[in-house]
Structure 1
Amino acid sequence: MTKTQVLVIGLDPNLVDFSTMPDMNAEKVRAGLEADQAKLATLGYEAELCLTDLGDTAPDVVAQKLAEKPFNCVVIGAGIRTIPAYFLLFEQLVNVVHRAAPGARICFNTKPSDTAEAVQRWA
């Protein structure tokens, strides 16, 4: 049986300014993403992380990743979606996913540690 292929798109935590988020830092974000990637594996999904820059190459990086193989589900992370400075990047990435993976379900997490729940809602 083939596992459901999941792509998790997020900002590289090392590039994010956490000064307005006192309870978060790059290490916590990365740990949350990696823990949820492992959780997805135990649930029978094959998840890959696609961490991007703040917008210069992000659409191209995501398009290239989506061209590597078919993904059943694509998660666009809360860091891209909820921080107002990245609104245009979010819009670009939604359109990249729509073009490159039209059959994939798109879902959204609310924090690095609830990605598995977002995937389970749609995959």
Structure 2
Amino acid sequence: MARGPVLVIGLDPVRIPGWDPQPVVAAIARGQARFGVHDVDADLCLVAPDDHPEEAITEALVRRDYACVVVGGGIRKHEPLLELFERVVNLVRQHAPGAAIAFNSSPEDAADAALRWLR
């Protein structure tokens, strides 16, 4: 029986100009695969900061009753995105008030972050 569901919110590396997204795309895929190893049902919501991310995040949050929402480091750690990070946390509080909020340290350990709250 799968646990969760979990929503992972992060930046879409393909939609950020000026760098090679493939290493991050591969890390995200490895991270999502780890959810399956732990029998955790997980959805992914990748956004671009300059393309109405709040709309996509809200749509994802209301799609299911999430047990946990993991907010990725690309949103949290990059100081110019501080306001977006605040909006993401408040959107989770508004649209998924029963969900735990977790933070990963890399795209590959999102399952570990969620598991801290799903036990």
Give the deviation of 1:106 after TM superposition.
0.4
SS of the residue 1:114 aligns to: helix
Aligned to 1:22: none
Gaps of 5+ in 2: none
Deviation per CA, 1:13-56: give whole Å up to 9, x if none. Answer: 0233566xxxxx41111111111111111201011110011144
Residue 94 (structure 1) aligned with residue 89 (structure 2): yes
Distance 1:18 1:84, change over 3 A: farther
| Structure 1: unaligned runs, 5 residues or longer | 20-24
Distance of aligned partners of 1:110 and 1:17 in 2 relative to their CA distance in 1, 3 Å threshold: farther
Q: In 2, Cα distance between the equivalents of 1:44 and 1:2?
A: 5
Residue in structure 1 matched with residue 29 of structure 2 by the alignment: 34
- Number of aligned residues: 118
Q: Does 1:105 align with 2:100?
A: yes
Normalized per residue, the structure richer in helix is 2
The counterpart of 1:61, out of the listed 41, 56, 80, is 56
The percentage of aligned residue pairs carrying the same residue is 38
- The match for 1:9 is 9
* 1:75-94 correspondence to structure 2 within 5 Å: 75-94=70-89
TM-score by length of 1: 0.88
Distance in 2 (CA, whole Å) between partners of 1:59 and 1:31 is: 25
Q: Which residue of 1 aligns with 2:39?
A: 44
After the TM superposition, list the runs of 4 or more consecutive aligned residues in structure 1 that deviate by more than 2 angstroms. Answer: 15-19
Report if aligned partners of 2:2, 2:39 keep a CA contact under 8 Å in 1. Answer: no
Structure 2 vs 1, CA of residues 55 and 98 (structure 1 numbering), >3 Å: closer, same or farther?
farther
* 8 A contact 1:15–1:54 mirrored in 2: no
